[in-house]
Amino acid sequence: MNRVFKFILIIFMLLVVIGASACIDEETEGTAEGAEAGEGSQDLVVGVGTDVSSWYLDMFASGDARFVWAQVYETLVRLDSDLNVIPGLAESWESSDDGKTWIFHLRENVTFHDGTPFNADSVVFSYSNQSYVRQAVLRPVQSVEALDDHTVQFVLAKPMPLPFYLTHIAWPVMGPSCLDAEGNFVKPVGTGPFKFDTQAKDQEIVLTKNEAYWGEQPLLDKVTFKVIPEAATRVIALETGEVDMIIKVPEYDVARLEAEEGIQIHRKLTTFTDFLQFNCEKSPFDDTRVRQSVAYAIDTETLVNEVLEGIGEPAGGRAYSPVMMYSDPDLETYTPDLDKAKDLLEEAGWKDADGDGIAEKDGEPLHVTLIVSKGVWAARHNPMAQVVQGTLREVGMDVEIQVLDEGAISKLESAGDFDMILRSGYFVWGPYPRHFFVHHSGNPYSHYNNETYDQLVDEADMTLDSQEQEELYHSLQAFVTEEVPAFYLVHEEKVVATGPAVNGYVISSEDPWLNLSGIYLERT
């Protein structure tokens, strides 16, 4: 018995020692950190929602990882804060007449963080077959070749507006020295204004200033990204001054933060638009009139004002955020009209005969499901779904909301076993209107099959003349508002909050970017 007791005692003591030693280690670390952050320091602390799980080009940099990537890595082509295309690591580019060959002239005298020169080989390496972007997005790319040290040629199977694609920060140029001799990833090597320093998984990522940066020198010496998944905790961390800046501020906290002294709210319309996607292959939404009825019933202005605290812009069916390229400013959007909505339903054969408020057709009540994802957008999508439910009830549509996780949604989608899904924009980056592929019949998730639409999308994507392209995209927008394969609800607004020390921040429209250039700190 004595031995057993000793054994247990030893185990417990071990546990306590492990615990204590870990505490002590980190405590010394903590104080060192505190001492560094003296007065006048230019060490910015940013609160983000998710950690960087991958630093290498064979994986898509998802979530907030892209904000961090954008400081370390750079793209050949860039966007300014209003989404205009500007030179990045490439100074200029040109395409052949058929739009299938693109040549990029690279900036000279640029070096990677480890001192190796940036050249054509590193571009070839970054867009090799191993890269995620070649496998998933740039499938039409047939070859990437170095013509000389500072010229790279992309050959495509079909015309494609390649420069737009190359602005996405998840597909940057990386130094081949990211890899060791055996081809294993060692550390991120980029050309950006900040160098990778350390990462404590799910806690923080520390970057330091790149003294040899080719562009405008950053004013900050160090940037620490703190990983705080809970939005409420992130907001409090800003209020307590534990972080200087937070991204993805929840809509319902904006008014309160705005009233607080020293805290500044920065808002800007993004390229993302929330939408109700219909299953156009199945009754009742296989009937255009029923879809139009939904469009007339829902008041997107109320949605923005009541649910999203006025943050965002009512879309009224417009597929494109006004910040997008070729967004048609004169597009006729929907103004709510309940009578018209009811009429359209009746035309389609749905009429409330038994007086219970729900329309019927052939004795079947008009019962539909609305799927909402449990993911990151749930906080805004759940209340939006409830408003949609309430509104559609008024025109005689009985909506059942299903809150499901992504796996369950993709299963129902594959089986075509759904009526409506509430989504946030996808196939969206930069100003380029690629989102229209969502309703293309070639997309396995589209559930909309319209030959005219498919042709328009393909043609618009492959047209080189920008005047012609604009016309095509304008007609596509009119097509979507008329045919309503999806009803577009709200153009999202991005919200970033900064604390009292932060000066010179300019918010950008492009979601994967976090523009830190020009920021400097003044701590009192």
Partner 1 sequence: MWRYIAKRLAMVSVVIAGVTLVAFSAMYLAPGDPAEVIALARYGDDLSTSQIETLREAEGLDAPVHMQYLIWMGHLLRLDFGKSLVTSEDVLSEILQKLPATVELAIVSLLVSLLIALPAGVLGALRKNTLLDSGCMFVSLVGVSIPNFWLGLLLIWLFALILPLFPSFGYGSLEHFVLPALTLGSSMAAVTARLTRASLLEVLGQEYIVAARARGFDERTVLFRHALKNALLPVITFAGMQFGYLLGGAVIVESIFSWPGIGKLLVDSIFARDFSMVQGCVLFIAVLFSFSSLVVDILYAVLDPRIRYDRSD
Task: Kindly tell me which of 170 and 507 has the beta carbon lying closer to partner 1.
Answer: 170
Please identify which residue in 101, 132, 267, 282 interacts with partner 1, judged by CB under 8 A.
132
Widest pairwise Cα distance in the chain: 89
Residue 345 backbone phi and psi in degrees, to 5: -60, -40
What stretch of H or E contains 16? helix 2-36
Would you count residue 29 as binding partner 1 (CB under 8 A)? Answer: yes
Contact 222, 208 (CB under 8 A): yes
CA torsion sign, 355 to 357 to 362 to 363? negative
Would you count residue 182 as binding partner 1 (CB under 8 A)? Answer: no
Taking the complex as a whole, how short is the minimal distance between the CB of residue 235 and partner 1, in angstroms? 10
Please identify which residue in 82, 98, 145, 406 interacts with partner 1, judged by CB under 8 A.
406
Contact 275, 436 (CB under 8 A): no
**In whole angstroms, what is the distance from residue 40 CA to residue 346 CA?**
69
Would you count residue 53 as binding partner 1 (CB under 8 A)? Answer: yes
Stretch of residues binding partner 1 (CB under 8 A), selected from 115-123, 132-140, 214-222, 515-523: 132-140
Residue 271 backbone phi and psi in degrees, to 5: -85, -10
Would you count residue 181 as binding partner 1 (CB under 8 A)? Answer: no
Taking the complex as a whole, how short is the minimal distance between the CB of residue 62 and partner 1, in angstroms? 7
Three-state SS letters, 84-113: CEEECCEEEEEECCCCCEEEEEECCCCECC
Nearest to 456 by CA among 435, 467, 440: 440
Taking the complex as a whole, how short is the minimal distance between the CB of residue 316 and partner 1, in angstroms? 25
Please identify which residue in 230, 356, 468, 482 interacts with partner 1, judged by CB under 8 A.
230
Please identify which residue in 42, 54, 81, 402 interacts with partner 1, judged by CB under 8 A.
54
Q: Which structure tokens are listed for 296?
A: 């007339």
CA 279 vs CA 202, 286, 302: distances in Å: 38, 7, 25
Would you count residue 249 as binding partner 1 (CB under 8 A)? Answer: no
Please identify which residue in 39, 216, 444, 451 interacts with partner 1, judged by CB under 8 A.
444
Taking the complex as a whole, how short is the minimal distance between the CB of residue 362 and partner 1, in angstroms? 31
**In whole angstroms, what is the distance from residue 186 CA to residue 90 CA?**
26
Contacts of 99 (CB under 8 A, 6+ apart): 156, 159, 160, 462, 464
Would you count residue 128 as binding partner 1 (CB under 8 A)? Answer: no
Contact 415, 317 (CB under 8 A): no
Would you count residue 390 as binding partner 1 (CB under 8 A)? Answer: no
Taking the complex as a whole, how short is the minimal distance between the CB of residue 18 and partner 1, in angstroms? 7
Three-state SS letters, 371-407: EEECCCCHHHHHHHHHHHHHHHHHCCCEEEEEEECHH
Taking the complex as a whole, how short is the minimal distance between the CB of residue 115 and partner 1, in angstroms? 28
Residues 254-258: contacts with CB within 8 Å, 24+ apart? 254/309, 254/311, 254/495, 255/309, 257/497
Taking the complex as a whole, how short is the minimal distance between the CB of residue 165 and partner 1, in angstroms? 11
Within 446-475, which residues bind partner 1 (CB under 8 A)?
A: none
Name residue 406's amino acid.
E
Please identify which residue in 87, 99, 176, 229 interacts with partner 1, judged by CB under 8 A.
229
Q: Taking CA 434 as the corner, what is the angle to CA 492 and CA 292, rounded to the nearest 5 degrees? A: 65
Taking the complex as a whole, how short is the minimal distance between the CB of residue 54 and partner 1, in angstroms? 6
Please identify which residue in 13, 30, 197, 306 interacts with partner 1, judged by CB under 8 A.
30
Task: Kindly tell me which of 22 and 255 has the beta carbon lying closer to partner 1.
Answer: 22
Would you count residue 200 as binding partner 1 (CB under 8 A)? Answer: yes
Please identify which residue in 10, 13, 27, 180 interacts with partner 1, judged by CB under 8 A.
27
Taking the complex as a whole, how short is the minimal distance between the CB of residue 147 and partner 1, in angstroms? 29
Q: Is the peptide bond between 485 and the residue preceding it cis, with omega within 30 degrees of 0?
A: no
**In whole angstroms, what is the distance from residue 326 CA to residue 405 CA?**
34
Q: Count residues near partner 1 (CB under 8 A).
A: 55
Nearest to 304 by CA among 344, 254, 233, 256: 254
Please identify which residue in 147, 426, 468, 518 interacts with partner 1, judged by CB under 8 A.
426
Taking the complex as a whole, how short is the minimal distance between the CB of residue 438 and partner 1, in angstroms? 9
**In whole angstroms, what is the distance from residue 61 CA to residue 66 CA?**
6
Mark residues 280-319: x for contact with partner 1 by CB under 8 A, - for none: ----------------------------------------
Task: Kindly tell me which of 23 and 181 has the beta carbon lying closer to partner 1.
Answer: 23
Would you count residue 375 as binding partner 1 (CB under 8 A)? Answer: yes
Contact 517, 218 (CB under 8 A): yes
Residue 461 backbone phi and psi in degrees, to 5: -65, -30
Would you count residue 87 as binding partner 1 (CB under 8 A)? Answer: no
Would you count residue 262 as binding partner 1 (CB under 8 A)? Answer: no
Taking the complex as a whole, how short is the minimal distance between the CB of residue 240 and partner 1, in angstroms? 5
Interface contacts to partner 1, rule CB under 8 A: 1, 4-5, 8, 11, 15-16, 18-19, 22-23, 26-27, 29-31, 53-54, 59-60, 62, 132, 135-137, 139, 200-203, 226-230, 232-233, 236-237, 239-240, 242, 375, 404-408, 410-412, 414, 426-427, 444
